[in-house]
Chain A
Amino acid sequence: MGEFALLSIIIFFPALGALLLLALRKFVVSDAEGVESEARIAFMTGLFVSAATFFLSLIALAYFQPAQEGFQLVEDFAWFGGQADDAGNIVGGIRYKLGLDGMSLLLVLLTTFLTPLCFLASWGSIKHRVTEYVAAFLFLETLMLGVFCALDMMLFYVFFEAGLIPMFIIIGIWGGAERVYASFKFFLYTLLGSLFMLLAVIAMYLQAGTSDIVELQTVIPQIFAVEDGKFGVQHLLWLAFFASFAVKLPMWPVHTWLPDAHVQAPTAGSVILAGVLLKMGGYGFLRFSLPMFPEASLYFQPMVFAMSVIAIVYASLVAFRQTDMKKLIAYSSVAHMGFVTLGIFSFTETGIQGAIFQMLSHGVISGALFLVVGVIYDRMHTREIAFYGGLVTKMPVYAAVFMLFTMANVGLPGTSGFIGEILTMVGSFQASSWAAAGAALGVIFSAVYMLTLYRRTVFGVMTNEKLDGIKDLTRTEAIVFAPLIIATIVLGVFPALIFDITETSVAPILAAFSGLIG
């Protein structure tokens, strides 16, 4: 048990803020001032709460000892299903257990880093029902943080699936014209996947008598040991978890909900979706699939590699044909997530380090790209690529920002995108040179579609008369992009900052494979 409940405070602080905001709305907003003051108060509250959460997570970073193995800042209470031992303490069963290792700490930081930016970015573009909007984002933040901090399988599941509710509402209320279809598709796809995971969770819990992730990582490979490489229960459990994480990540061919959800979601919703929610899939692979089912992971490695390479190549080609900017970036996300799975299933230190790095870097870059699209969408209310052209003449600062993130998404050295892609490819090259070759093809394609997008929107002659009055970045927008630019470049130049923290959490994952691969 931790000395003080820092993680619980971090997790539930946003939710408490949201509750307060909802409860006090009546008293704060007088009718005379109307909607505008409500929006201002709501965004101020959201910004304050999420910024405070970010500082709290920085405290967690300060307390974190990178060199120490295992989980830190652990909190552990019995929840249900356990047995009392002689001393009267409840052991086993399903627990409320939280803790951090390097990997989850970084994802927590990514979440708390992006959420305040979301509020800044939606300031002004979201005009109706702002209080509910802010509250939904704060609840979502609580649930996302819970996913990354949970050290109990059932607690993880509760946070993992509960996150669907606020995201469903965000897409469904503040989304575009086809929002209802997109939100239903998002919800049902993800739910079907995660319910199979629930069955696997139940089966594992019943066999092991505990749902403590740390214990399960040692117990499960023994209980469901694979005999002579035959297809067995371990493989079924792996498939059940895979169903959930593959939809969430998303992998080809279950990625089709993502473009719909992204296109319909409000800008900030897309940022969180691409920035954090997709990472839950990769995190799940690293936390569950690899350490708990090493033989099955190895068994399915070719399948995952094939799916990843198809995702990279196919999604890149599809992205090239898009006319909607957000859809293009959504497909580019699918391709970049392909690198993550490639790195994870290479079972090498380089590959997994690279995959974690790629998740963080993609969180920043794709979030920034959705914000870049959001900027011109707020002005012109269209995302058609053909509508734009020659923006550089009217919006020079914007063009520079857009250029930086385009290059980062392509993987230019010096930006964080480069490190993630090169490491996952090096890692997968050790496992399969063919997969790495396919992925390399994807890098070229990504340059093709991103540069085409950039050329067609920013360069050229401004032919559309409607664009005449378009304004460059406002101060708020510049404030939003500044931290993202800094993060992209700092990570690109000093990747060791990340690797120092993740090193101790990658080692135990690889230890599970020590006897399996030469």
Chain B
Amino acid sequence: MNWSEICAAATPEFYLAIVGLIAVLLGAILREKFTGISLKFSAVVLLGAAILSVLNLEGGTAFNGLWETDAYTNIAKAVCYFCTAIALLLAESYLFKEKLIRFEYCLLVIFASLGMGIMLSANDLMTLYLGIETLGLSSYVLAAFNRDSQRSSEAGLKYFVLGSIASGLILYGASLVYGFSGSTNYDLIAEAEMGLGLMFGLVLLVTGLAFKVSAAPLHVWTPDVYEGAPTPVVTFFASAPKLAAMVVFATILFDAFGSAIDQWQDIILIISGASMLIGAFGALRQNNMKRILAYSSIGNMGYALIALAAGEEIGGPALLVYMVIYALSQLGIFGVLLSMRRRGGMVEDISELSGLSTTMPWLAVCMTALIFSVAGIPPLGGFFGKLVVFQAGVEAGLWPIVVIGVVSSVISLGYYLRIIMIMWGGDKLAPFENMSGTVRLAVTGATLLVFPVFTVLIGWMMSLVGGSFSLG
């Protein structure tokens, strides 16, 4: 075992695992004293992990090929850790006000991030499964974190049952792949001859991963979990794990089954088209903001899958750029949701945003920018995300799916515009309670990223991610 290799490849995850265990001890010993600072503590820890991932950008291979990181996965990791850290800071005022603050919250988030790190670094189906389960189990508990609430417990249970089935599918797929290719290592699987058995394994893996990214037709859990789970937990779910799962989806298909693109391209195309349409139509009749955002995320995963279907060289950079823009703007949108608090608790109905532009103009401007960005209207960042994805689709000649993408983005404007019209044209309601400084900062930050930062720097992002292919 070569320590320098391991350090190069796995520093952030080692660091997270060790600090996570220390945090368990701190929580057990200091109890209430630790609880108060636990969120800030773990946010700093995660920012550290993000910095470590950037410092080790080129990555390496470790543990006899079970573990492999390159610039592509390290960028994804850094963004995941960063988003998680922000999600933790956003959670603070909510958890205190709702009296949900317990130090286990930050432990679960740290271990969930560790799971993301592991699955992103996986070069072997076993490592992949370890990562997925670490993330999954922490997520199930997080979804049910408000254990006195029936809705939250229900969300946790639904997520757990459906998530376990997906994990089972992945595991079964992995065992079939192992049986027919003789290995669980991505590189060796790539060398194996494609046969019917391997195909079965591949399809099962794709099904399980589609569940994890909440792509149709395995999307049904998303609106329920989004609605039931506490909002800060959904803030976390909506950003980092989505990004991680999508990049893992890409790495396994590109690395282990890259030569079999003809076999899986059609599956991805169907999933992608169905997700976009369901995301577009599903939200039209919804009134709960969290449910609307759940459908919006289903639709957006559909767009990312276009890039996935376009294959590694064409679609890889587009996929990561799209997901990074998406994850960071989700933090802003959920920041707005977290500030929707009136006397008597949180409100989630779309009508509660009525007249926001007169009561809290800056919040309304930010939300408008973020919503138009997710909808993909120029000159906001989300447009450029969609642009690179469509460009990948056109370059790969996937015309039908690109046209479906165009049509569904017009349909989805139906509910995005509704949100904006309610904020700008609705009757004035009482203003929300004062937002905490961190929420205000995060919303403003996300808005500035969406415009003008992404708009100006899109070229730099594409070349950074595009260049990471040649490095890896």
Contacts and interface: CB of A to CB of B under 8 A. Distances in A.
A195 B406 contact: yes
B383 A79 contact: no
A81 B457 CA distance: 11
Interface-central residue, B372, B377, B403, by most chain A CB under 10 Å = B377
Interface stretch (B104-112, B167-175, B189-197, B389-397): B389-397
A172 B403 contact: no
A183 interface: yes
Contacts of B458: 79-80
A164 interface: yes
B357 interface: yes
Interface of A: 78-82, 93-94, 129, 132, 154, 157-159, 161-162, 164-165, 168-169, 172-173, 179-180, 183-184, 187-188, 191-192, 195-196, 198-199, 202-203, 205-206
B459 A78 contact: yes
Contacts of B390: 198-199, 202
A164 B377 contact: yes
B406 A196 contact: yes
Contacts of B357: 129, 132
Contacts of B425: 172-173, 179-180
Interface residues of B, number: 29
Interface of B: 357-358, 372, 377-379, 383, 387, 390-391, 394-395, 402-403, 406-407, 409-410, 413-414, 417, 420-421, 424-425, 458-460, 462
Contact of A81 (B377, B414, B459): B459
Contacts of B394: 199, 202-203, 206
B443 to A, nearest CB: 17
18 contacts: A80-B459, A80-B462, A154-B387, A158-B379, A158-B383, A172-B424, A173-B424, A179-B425, A180-B421, A188-B410, A188-B413, A195-B406, A195-B410, A196-B406, A198-B387, A199-B394, A199-B402, A206-B391
A188 B391 contact: no
A9 B391 CA distance: 31
A159 B402 CA distance: 22
A257 to B, nearest CB: 13
Contact of B372 (A93, A165, A172, A196): A165
Contacts of B378: 157-159, 161-162
A179 B372 CA distance: 20
A172 B426 CA distance: 10
Given A78-B459, A158-B379, A172 B358 contact: no
A198 B402 CA distance: 11
A34 B391 CA distance: 51
Contacts of A129: 357-358
Contacts of A169: 420, 424
The 9 A-B residue pairs whose C-beta atoms are closest, nearest first, are A80-B459, A158-B378, A195-B406, A192-B410, A202-B394, A162-B378, A158-B379, A162-B379, A80-B458
Given A158-B379, A192-B406, A192-B410, 14 more contacts: A80-B460, A80-B462, A81-B459, A129-B357, A132-B357, A158-B378, A168-B417, A172-B421, A187-B417, A191-B377, A191-B410, A198-B406, A202-B394, A206-B394
Contacts of A188: 410, 413-414, 417
B24 to A, nearest CB: 45
Contact of A161 (B358, B377, B414): B377
Contacts of B417: 168, 183-184, 187-188
A94 B379 CA distance: 14
B361 to A, nearest CB: 8
Contacts of A159: 378-379
A79 B384 CA distance: 12
Contact of A162 (B377, B391, B459): B377
A136 to B, nearest CB: 10
Contact of A195 (B409, B421, B460, B462): B409
B138 to A, nearest CB: 37
